[in-house]
Each structure stands twice: as structure tokens, then as C-alpha cells.
């Protein structure tokens, strides 16, 4: 069974932007050092992800609520363009980044 998007079956990566995902799951892992946001479809396949480090925050600034909010907005923008309208939110972690991510999702 060939992989979707592999060079063998003649498809290219243009299919990714045309994919429509009506419902998904937003996984937020907020730690003292970083916040990681992963967005998957209902089956668990990753659509988009972002972390405070990839958004440009360095050192201890990665753990603050503003970094968590920026990270969430960055990863959600991709799935909004693909048509996602409903999402279930799963939050894990002990820090204030959890509240900031919920505010950004709303």
C-alpha cells in the first residue's frame, strides 16, 4: 500500500491544503519551561503543532502565559484555514499557560 503523498504514486503535497477537517482535538501540554500545542483530527493524526520555542521565545519566557497564548494562536490559524469549526480540548500541566490557551481558543 503506497503512502499518501509519496513520489511513487505521482501525488505531491498540494493535497494537504485542500483537505477539509470539520472536527478535531486540541492537545495542550503546559509545563514550567514550555507550552506545546498539538492539533489532531478525530482519528489522532497530527494536523498542526506549535511550541513556545518555535514561536521565538527563549529561556524562561517560554513558560509564561503570553507565550502559551501566542503558541495557540499560531497553531490554530492553520486549521481554521482548513475548515475546522469544532474542537475538543485536552489540557495537561500545572502552570498558568493552561488558562491563556483557553482564552486564545475562545
Domain boundaries, the chain: 22-105
pTM of the full structure: 0.76
Strand, coil or helix: what is 106?
Answer: coil
pLDDT at 3 over 80: no
Q: Which CATH architecture best describes the domain 22-105? A: 2-Layer Sandwich (3.30)
pLDDT at 101 over 90: no
Report whether 22 contacts 83 (CB < 8 A).
yes
pLDDT of residue 14: 52
pLDDT of residue 25: 94
DSSP type of residue 94: S
Report whether 34 contacts 68 (CB < 8 A).
no
Report whether 63 contacts 35 (CB < 8 A).
yes
pLDDT at 27 over 80: yes
Amino acid at each position: 500500500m503506497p503512502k499518501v503523498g509519496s513520489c511513487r504514486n505521482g501525488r505531491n503535497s498540494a493535497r494537504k491544503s485542500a483537505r477539509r477537517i470539520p472536527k478535531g482535538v486540541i492537545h495542550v501540554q503546559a509545563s514550567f519551561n514550555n507550552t506545546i500545542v498539538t492539533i489532531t483530527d478525530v482519528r489522532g493524526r497530527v494536523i498542526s503543532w506549535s511550541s513556545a520555542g518555535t514561536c521565538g521565545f527563549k529561556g524562561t519566557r517560554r513558560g509564561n502565559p503570553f507565550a502559551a497564548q501566542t503558541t495557540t494562536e499560531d497553531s490554530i490559524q492553520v486549521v481554521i484555514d482548513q475548515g475546522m469549526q469544532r474542537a475538543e480540548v485536552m489540557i495537561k500541566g500545572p502552570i498558568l499557560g493552561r488558562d491563556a490557551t483557553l482564552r486564545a481558543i475562545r
